């Protein structure tokens, strides 16, 4: 067998460059690039290998310099999400803080079922120089490092302590990255001495390899059970989750809904699976959904959940599906999710499963009166949305007006990116998605700071689309660093900073729970009260964005914001639009609940009142058995 002598890091880079994925006959690079920040753990290992590959042309793995390790994982996740989990990016970091900075990104990827490849550097495998700078010493064991923190937030984890271990670890990692039923972060911890160690590798390790992404079909008996339950329904409802979009199953969803006359609600990850103005579409479901979808959910007797994992927001903390005999059919590629709510499990690819259900339900339709009610509720909600988009709120615009102006300006294939604060709620209730990739709200982990790097990854994945990043001032201050990466790489983003002087979402939640918006505004400490309730801080986020290299536009009104959007679209560079919003402006209600416990005993009258309301609402909570 022919061998080639390379370091572990050089072999890693060459291997990654040769991996491809394929689904439905479409083949693409599995890992076309690598984000990284170099330090003493990887500068002479993976860093040297990436440079050598670029200089010699031995491997095509483009390197992108990130500015924050957490952010580069978010960017990789944004990229993978836009590519329907068929491609992702690798992320390399130094040992110690460089590695642990990626743990939050790993958690986001695994919680939201998005594949990313993480390559954190580690301490010396030989322990010859231990303890090295930034090495964790554990008195109980010599083989523990900070990289063990990745174990619970990775779908696959390994540490390569010897060169001979690398081939098996790489093959296992690729298997995990291409498993649609168990997508998430894949972590290969690489000791810094092992990265630089040379080994004779079999040439076959570096031949092009294609990982085929399956479309599992439903088991016939499970399909019969699912179809039988749906046929018994008088008031069925479909919940479209992210799995529908990742499986490219929008056409199959539309066909089933039209054929059977079933209303379709969507989750945060599933918004856009069915166009907002389709006759069967009723909007977002759950705590941040539309009042129309939630009214239907309360009366639905059979719920078909397609590609959803039923988060507490989706189920309104198990209160929104209120029919006493409600039953669930769960179409999901992951058996774990298909078994939730004691549902009839249909373990299959979303597109294959929806196609099979359409065949099994041929000739059956839901009660026409139910479909008519759904259309009526959806029509009323559209009027609510129109009013929210054009409130004419003064002196500062309402956040719903800013969202409305963007929604009306954006083209069908444009992308809106968001993740945390009050905007995900307003967006799920109000955004009118017209394309499966138009709505990119990361609400599995709802990680403040995801927005800008996630938008960067989304734009890298499809440069033909305009990407609009909506970010609150709280999230912006947590992670604005990848503006520099976008500028350096000439990757155009339009970043909209909605500045309301603090944490508007938690401020509103705090007030509703009797905590009076404590600690949720950006203010000076008041010497009279000792609290952070003094004057507003004089932050200038637009000036900060300009200092990072972005073009900056300021908008004081909705009209000025619309003009700024046009200017940003015409520009060829990353542009930040700064607009202030009133955090107290009204927004439509979802007519649903979210379980956040209130202090059971309290001296504050506001808290006692909130506790009474909490106990009343909690009576509607139920197990789905």
Residues 525-562 have pLDDT tens digits of: 999 998 888 888 888 999 999 999 999 999 999 999 99
Report the b/e string of 48-70 with b at 16+ CB within 10 A. Answer: bbbebbeeeebbebebbebbbbb
Q: Determine, yes or no, domain membership for 593.
A: no
Instruction: Give, for 572, the enclosing helix (H) or strand (E).
Output: none
Based on the domain organization, do 272 and 356 belong to the same domain? yes
Report percent pLDDT > 70 for the chain.
Answer: 99
Q: Determine, yes or no, domain membership for 483.
A: yes
Distance (Å, whole) CA 388 – CA 329? 34
Tell me, what's the pLDDT at 613? 92
Q: Using alpha carbons only, give the angle 432, 436, 440 rounded to the nearest 5 degrees.
A: 75
Based on the domain organization, do 286 and 330 belong to the same domain? yes
pLDDT higher than threshold 70 for residue 504:
no
Please tell me whether residue 394 adopts helix, strand or coil conformation: coil
42-51, 249-258, 318-327, 510-519: which has the minimum mean pLDDT? 510-519
Based on the domain organization, do 198 and 240 belong to the same domain? no
Distance (Å, whole) CA 468 – CA 452? 9
Q: Single out the residue in 170, 193, 212 at which a domain terminates.
A: 212
State the chain's mean pLDDT as an integer.
Answer: 95
Q: What is the 3-state secondary structure (H, E, C) of 199-237?
A: EEEEHHHHCCEEEECCCCCCCHHHHHHHHHHHHCCCCEE
pLDDT higher than threshold 80 for residue 415:
yes
CATH code, domain carrying 327: 3.40.50.1220
Tell me, what's the pLDDT at 505? 66
Distance (Å, whole) CA 122 – CA 46? 12
Based on the domain organization, do 152 and 89 belong to the same domain? yes
- The alpha helices in 94-219, defined as continuous H runs, are 97-100, 103-111, 166-177, 192-195
Q: Write the CA distances from 26 to 30, 307, 348, 430, integer angstroms.
A: 12, 22, 20, 35
Closest C-alpha to 620, from 598, 600, 592? 592
Q: Determine, yes or no, domain membership for 609.
A: no
Q: Which residues are paired to 577 by β-bridges?
A: 496, 553
Tell me, what's the pLDDT at 519? 75
Work out the number of other CB atoms within 10 angstroms of the CB of residue 416.
25
Q: How does residue 238 score in pLDDT terms, banded at 50, 70 and 90?
A: very high
- Region 491-498 average pLDDT: 98
Based on the domain organization, do 255 and 143 belong to the same domain? no
Residue 418 phi/psi, 5-degree rounding, is: -155, 170
CA 396 to chain centre: 30
pLDDT higher than threshold 80 for residue 395:
yes
DSSP letters, 324-349, are: TT-EEEEEESSHHHHTGGG-EEEES-
Work out the number of other CB atoms within 10 angstroms of the CB of residue 95.
28
Based on the domain organization, do 333 and 281 belong to the same domain? yes
Distance (Å, whole) CA 331 – CA 349? 8
- Region 399-415 average pLDDT: 98
284-298, 407-421, 602-616: which has the minimum mean pLDDT? 602-616
Residue for token pair 């959803």: 308
Based on the domain organization, do 227 and 264 belong to the same domain? yes
Structural domain of residue 229, as residue ranges? 220-380
Based on the domain organization, do 454 and 418 belong to the same domain? yes
Residue 44 phi/psi, 5-degree rounding, is: -95, -5
Q: Determine, yes or no, domain membership for 625.
A: no
Total domains in the fold of the chain: 3
Q: Which residues are paired to 189 by β-bridges?
A: 159
pLDDT higher than threshold 90 for residue 228:
yes
Please enumerate in sequence order all residues whose Cβ is within 8 A of that of 220, keeping only pairs 6 or more positions apart, or say none. Answer: none
Tokens of 543: 């000036």
Distance (Å, whole) CA 432 – CA 283? 9
Based on the domain organization, do 158 and 206 belong to the same domain? yes
Tell me, what's the pLDDT at 487? 98
Chain segment 134-144, per-residue pLDDT in tens:
999 999 999 99
Q: Single out the residue in 380, 413, 433 at which a domain terminates.
A: 380
Based on the domain organization, do 369 and 395 belong to the same domain? no
- Region 204-228 average pLDDT: 98
Distance (Å, whole) CA 579 – CA 471? 11
Distance (Å, whole) CA 608 – CA 514? 7
Q: Determine, yes or no, domain membership for 585.
A: no
Report percent pLDDT > 90 for the chain.
Answer: 90
Distance (Å, whole) CA 479 – CA 108? 15
Q: How does residue 69 score in pLDDT terms, banded at 50, 70 and 90?
A: very high
pLDDT higher than threshold 80 for residue 510:
no
Based on the domain organization, do 301 and 322 belong to the same domain? yes
CATH code, domain carrying 562: 3.40.50.970
Tell me, what's the pLDDT at 334? 97
- The alpha helices in 325-422, defined as continuous H runs, are 335-338, 350-360, 368-389, 399-409
Closest C-alpha to 281, from 441, 385, 406, 434? 434
- Region 599-625 average pLDDT: 91
Q: Single out the residue in 212, 245, 262 at which a domain terminates.
A: 212
Terminus-to-terminus CA distance in the chain, angstroms?
A: 58
Chain segment 424-435, per-residue pLDDT in tens:
999 999 999 999
> Which strands make up the sheet holding 90-93, listed edge to edge?
62-65, 33-36, 90-93, 116-122, 185-191, 156-159
Q: Determine, yes or no, domain membership for 190.
A: yes
Q: Determine, yes or no, domain membership for 524.
A: no
Strands 209-212 and 19-23: parallel
175-179, 508-512, 604-608: which has the minimum mean pLDDT? 508-512
Tell me, what's the pLDDT at 401? 98
Distance (Å, whole) CA 226 – CA 461? 36
Distance (Å, whole) CA 191 – CA 146? 12
Tokens of 237: 């409802």
Tell me, what's the pLDDT at 574? 98
Based on the domain organization, do 313 and 341 belong to the same domain? yes
- Region 573-579 average pLDDT: 98
Please tell me whether residue 67 adopts helix, strand or coil conformation: coil
The answer to whether 585 and 393 have CB atoms below 8 angstroms apart is yes
Please tell me whether residue 299 adopts helix, strand or coil conformation: helix
Tell me, what's the pLDDT at 523? 85
Closest C-alpha to 250, from 226, 223, 277, 271? 271
Tell me, what's the pLDDT at 239? 98
Chain segment 15-55, per-residue pLDDT in tens:
999 999 999 999 999 999 999 999 999 999 999 999 999 99
Q: Determine, yes or no, domain membership for 595.
A: no
Tell me, what's the pLDDT at 141? 92
């Amino acid at each position: 067998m022919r061998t080639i002598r390379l370091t572990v890091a050089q072999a890693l880079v060459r291997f990654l460059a040769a991996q491809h994925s394929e689904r439905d006959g479409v083949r693409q690079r599995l890992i076309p690039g690598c984000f990284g920040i170099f330090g003493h753990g990887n500068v002479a290992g993976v860093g040297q290998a990436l440079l050598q590959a670029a200089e010699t042309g031995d491997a095509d793995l483009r390197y992108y310099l990130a500015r924050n390790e957490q952010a580069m994982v978010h960017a990789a996740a944004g990229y993978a999400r836009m590519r329907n989990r068929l491609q992702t990016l690798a992320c390399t970091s130094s040992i110690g803080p460089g590695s642990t900075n990626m743990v939050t990104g790993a958690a986001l990827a695994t919680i939201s079922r998005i594949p990313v490849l993480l390559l954190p550097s580690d301490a010396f495998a030989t322990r010859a120089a231990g303890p090295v700078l930034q090495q964790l010493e554990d008195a109980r064991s010599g083989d523990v490092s900070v990289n063990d923190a990745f174990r619970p937030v990775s779908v696959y984890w390994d540490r390569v302590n010897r060169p001979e271990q690398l081939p098996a670890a790489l093959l296992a990692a690729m298997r995990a990255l291409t498993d649609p039923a168990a997508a998430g972060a894949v972590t290969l911890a690489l000791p810094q001495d092992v990265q630089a160690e040379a080994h004779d590798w079999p040439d076959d390790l570096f031949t092009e390899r294609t990982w085929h992404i399956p479309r599992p079909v439903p088991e016939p008996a499970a399909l019969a059970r699912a179809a039988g339950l749906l046929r018994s329904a008088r008031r069925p409802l479909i919940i479209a989750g992210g799995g529908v979009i990742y499986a490219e199953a929008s056409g199959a969803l539309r066909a089933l809904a039209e054929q059977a006359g079933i209303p379709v609600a969507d989750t945060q990850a599933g918004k856009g699976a069915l166009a907002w103005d389709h006759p069967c579409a009723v909007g977002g479901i759950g705590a941040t959904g539309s009042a129309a979808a939630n009214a239907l959910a309360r009366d639905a007797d059979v719920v078909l959940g397609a590609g959803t994992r039923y988060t507490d927001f989706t189920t309104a903390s198990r209160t929104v599906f209120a029919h006493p005999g409600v039953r669930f059919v769960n179409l999901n590629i992951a058996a774990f999710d298909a078994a939730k709510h004691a549902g009839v499990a249909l373990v299959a690819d979303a597109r294959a499963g929806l196609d099979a259900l359409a065949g099994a339900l041929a000739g059956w339709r839901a009660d026409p009166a139910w479909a008519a009610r759904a259309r009526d509720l959806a029509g009323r909600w559209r009027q609510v949305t129109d009013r929210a988009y054009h409130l004419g709120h003064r002196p500062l615009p309402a956040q719903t007006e800013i969202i409305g102006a963007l929604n009306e300006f954006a083209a069908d294939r444009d992308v809106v990116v968001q993740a945390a604060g009050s905007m995900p709620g307003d967006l799920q209730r109000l955004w009118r998605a017209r394309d499966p990739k138009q709505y990119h709200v990361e609400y599995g982990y709802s990680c403040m700071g995801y927005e800008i790097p996630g938008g960067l990854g989304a734009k890298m994945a499809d440069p033909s689309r305009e990407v609009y990043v909506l970010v609150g001032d709280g999230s912006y201050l947590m992670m604005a660093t990848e503006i520099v990466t976008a500028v350096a790489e000439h990757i155009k983003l339009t970043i909209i900073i909605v500045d309301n002087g603090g944490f508007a979402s938690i401020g509103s939640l705090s007030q509703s729970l009797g905590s009076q918006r404590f600690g949720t505004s950006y203010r000076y400490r008041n010497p009279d009260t000792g609290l952070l309730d003094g004057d507003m801080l004089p932050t200038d986020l637009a000036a900060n964005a300009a200092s990072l290299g972005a073009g900056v536009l300021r908008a004081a009104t909705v009209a000025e914001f619309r003009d700024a959007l046009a200017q940003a679209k015409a520009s060829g560079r990353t542009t930040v639009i700064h607009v202030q919003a009133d955090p107290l402006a009204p927004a439509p209600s979802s007519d649903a609940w979210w379980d956040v416990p209130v202090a059971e005993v309290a001296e504050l009258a506001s808290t006692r009142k909130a506790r009474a309301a909490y106990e009343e609402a909690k009576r509607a909570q139920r197990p789905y058995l």
